[in-house]
Amino acid sequence: MTLTVSQLRLSYGAREVVQVTDLVLEPARTVCLIGPNGCGKSTLLKALAGLNRPTAGIVSLDGKLLGSWDPKSLARRLAFLPQSPTTPQGISVRQLVAHGRYPHLGILSRHSTHDHEIVGWAMEATGIAHLCRRDVGTLSGGERQRTWIAMILAQEAGIVLLDEPTTYLDMGHQAELMELLADLQRKRRLTIIMVLHDLNQASHYADRLLALRDGQIIADGPPRDVVDSHLSERLFGLVTQRIDRTLSGRIVPYCLPLGPVAATPAIPESKVDKNTIEPAKVMSYLEVFPQ
Amino acid sequence: MLSVPPAIASRSDRRYAMGLLFLSALLALLVLASLFFGAVSLPAGDLFTGLVSRQASSLESALVWQLRLPRTLLAVLVGLQFATAGLILQAVIRNPLADPGVIGVSSGAGLAVVALLLVSDMAGADPLIGTNQPSMMAWLPVAALFGGLAAASLVLAMSWRAKLCPIRLTLNGVAVGAVLNALVMWTIIVWGGARTEIALIWLAGSLYGRDFLHLQVLWPWCLVGILGTLALLRPLSLLRLDDAVSASLGMRGLFWRVTAIIVAVILAASAVAVTGPIGFVGLVTPHLSRLLAGPDERSLIVVNMMVGSILMLSADLLGRSLISPLEIPAGALTTLLGIPVFLLLLHRQRRLGI
């Protein structure tokens, strides 16, 4: 299952927010969308989920326009979770997770044994099985977010779109959630496309990083090729020091914030646009934190 | 129940079955009480023979068949309808304070009734048409029904461009309701004729003097409403989620929201047409039922219908036996009883920290 975008333009009223000429999202990868507030990353994600009508261009899944899919069969292939969704009053964890089975059911059919098993599995996988009878409104932020993730899992879609899944979570719970997603991605061969606002988090977990500014993709590639101070300056106006770390044979770049661009000497625009990184500007993890 | 381990499932199923049994017994008891008690007290034996023989000649039979039985049946249906409409609207508008008044049904029906009474008053004064008021009175529920439907359609049309977004729907509903209520009051005050009293009595909401004619107007709408509610079972719980979430689960949100509102309007408008506006049954019943039924949507809808009937029957029963042979309008009584119950619920919710 491959999501394809071509000549896409998205706007709110007369204001154009996103322009993407060409984008192909391969299956079984983790793609992170990153960019400053208001750069259009959530809007693009919604369009990928088929929830935004493009002003021009197309978004298609397996060569078929998202708009021409039957809603339920699209939902069996593609799941979307908005940023901090509202929890209905008095709903139990199991009920919320069971909503994920909606696209698999006819209008009057009841949940089958298979549906029950999937719901049970989704709760096990996200570690919330012991909370199944609790009211979602009484859960902690981390538990609630895992409940929503479980609902998406119960949907059994191959492509999962997440809008800032770590918002309002503390660092520990953020790491826990990201590990959970990475684990699920590996085991279920999911395609995960998510908006993150933490560059280092995105760098850590993404196979491919898409950086958006003013509605346009300004960098696209594996984190080790695109993450550096150039990127953080263009995205966030922040000068950073890149620190490389090797995690299970993979180079993961981190950005240590140094200060806003205005306070540090500017880098000429001509040097900014290339994606290759000068080795001299990269410090290794061991240099910065000698053991 | 959804995917509950067998042990827990059977336990909560048993609790649910016990609850249903209790509610059915209570409902049956209230139906009997409603047939027994009234301005004229009947011995149980006479009541029974009256019920069975159905000979119009005997007083008992006439009393039971023409007054108490239709009134009892109406209370059951109307209570069920208000409660179900309230449950649906609370889900659609995502507001626990929603009730059938929120989309203008009661006000629309009120205006239609007052207008009809005004017209019939004028017609009564007209030498050509003469005094055929009885036939005019037969049209009262029909007029109220279409008044309610028209007001709700207006609210829906006004909210259509906002894709029936819950907040816009509520605001438009409240605005339309307020304007229509003002028109009702204005008509009553300016007109000031002999029929103001009838209008005021109707606006208080009561089952006094309702007969099989009203039942005939009501039952087809009730049936359609209940069938519609059954079709809504699953979409209704998804409508409580954010639009983006329900859409990504593959639900046609706008379609189901319109369907749900239409079902609620059918239930509420036909009920209002028969009894006049009855406050608080639609608002309080879903909350009470949620305490009794737990979170499962299927059991909630059934329990909610029964609790609605029980509340309406008890209100009517109390209303006509407290100061017998006079009557307190059931609508006034439900509001009087409803407010303390409602405050209690609010208090409870605050304690639970919801």
Residues A174-198 pLDDT 10s:
999 999 999 999 999 999 999 998 9
- CA quadruple A102, A107, A110, A114: dihedral, nearest 10: -50
- The Cα–Cα gap between A251 and A127 comes to 30
Closest residue to B238, CB basis, from A73, A90, A102: A102
Is A76 in Cβ contact with B245 (below 8 Å)? no
| pLDDT value for B4 | 47
| pLDDT value for B335 | 80
Domain spans of chain B, in order of start: 70-352
| pLDDT value for B39 | 63
Is A137 in Cβ contact with B234 (below 8 Å)? no
Quick one: DSSP state of residue A138? G
- Adjacent-strand bridge partners of B313: none
Please give, rounded to a whole number of angstroms, the shortest distance from the CA of B178 to a CA of chain A.
28
B122: Cβ–Cβ under 8 A, 6 or more apart, which residues? none
Among A76, A102, A115, the strongest candidate for a mutation testing the B interface, having the largest count of B CBs within 10 A, is A102
Would the pLDDT of A216 be above 90?
yes
**What is B70-352's CATH number?**
1.10.3470.10
Short-list B144, B141, B142, CA closest to B152: B144
State both tokens at A191: 């395609």
Is A105 in Cβ contact with B295 (below 8 Å)? no
Omega before A103 within 30 of 0, i.e. cis: no
B279: Cβ–Cβ under 8 A, 6 or more apart, which residues? B99, B101, B205, B331, B334, B335, B338
Is B231 in Cβ contact with A116 (below 8 Å)? no
- The Cα–Cα gap between A190 and A229 comes to 31
Count CB atoms within 10 A of the CB of residue B121.
19
SS3 label, residue A217: strand
B341: Cβ–Cβ under 8 A, 6 or more apart, which residues? B280, B284, B288
Q: Which ipTM was obtained for this model?
A: 0.84
- The Cα–Cα gap between B47 and B309 comes to 23
| pLDDT value for B68 | 84
pTM for this prediction: 0.83
Q: Do the beta carbons of residue B263 and residue B97 sit within 8 Å? A: no
Is B4 in Cβ contact with A90 (below 8 Å)? no
Short-list A146, A152, A118, CA closest to B2: A118
Would the pLDDT of A75 be above 60?
yes
State both tokens at B147: 């008044």
| pLDDT value for B195 | 64
Residues of A in contact with B231 (CB under 8 A): 107-108
| pLDDT value for B351 | 53
Residues of A in contact with B290 (CB under 8 A): 90
Residues of B with CB under 8 A from a CB of A: 2-4, 8, 94, 96, 231, 234, 237-238, 240-242, 244-245, 247-252, 290, 295-297, 353-354
Q: Do the beta carbons of residue A5 and residue A57 sit within 8 Å? A: yes
Residues of A in contact with B15 (CB under 8 A): none
| pLDDT value for B304 | 93
Short-list A63, A49, A54, CA closest to A160: A49
Across the A/B interface, how many CB contacts are shorter than 8 Å?
Answer: 90
Closest residue to B249, CB basis, from A103, A108, A115: A103
State both tokens at B336: 């009087």
Quick one: DSSP state of residue A92? B
- The Cα–Cα gap between B180 and B112 comes to 10
Q: What b/e sequence results for A81-97 when a residue is b if at least 16 CB atoms lie within 10 Å of its CB, and e otherwise?
A: bbbbbebbbbbbbbbbb
- Adjacent-strand bridge partners of A33: A195, A210
Q: Is the dihedral of CA A177, A179, A181, A187 positive or negative?
A: negative
Complete edge-to-edge strand list for the sheet that includes strand A238-247: A250-260, A238-247, A283-284
> From first to last of its 354 residues, what are the pLDDT tens digits of chain B?
344 444 455 566 777 888 889 999 999 999 988 887 766 666 666 666 666 665 555 666 677 777 888 889 999 999 999 999 999 999 888 888 888 888 888 899 889 988 887 877 777 655 444 455 555 666 778 888 889 889 999 999 999 888 888 889 889 999 999 999 999 988 888 877 666 777 787 888 888 878 788 888 889 999 999 999 998 988 888 998 998 999 999 999 889 999 999 999 999 988 988 888 887 888 888 888 887 877 677 888 999 999 999 999 998 888 888 877 778 888 888 888 777 877 776 677 655 444
Please give, rounded to a whole number of angstroms, the shortest distance from the CA of A269 to a CA of chain B.
40
Q: Do the beta carbons of residue B181 and residue B107 sit within 8 Å? A: yes
| pLDDT value for A288 | 54
Quick one: DSSP state of residue A241? E
Based on its alpha-carbon atoms, the radius of gyration of chain B, rounded to whole angstroms, reads 21
Average pLDDT, chain A: 88
Count CB atoms within 10 A of the CB of residue B56.
9
Average confidence (pLDDT) over A46-65: 92
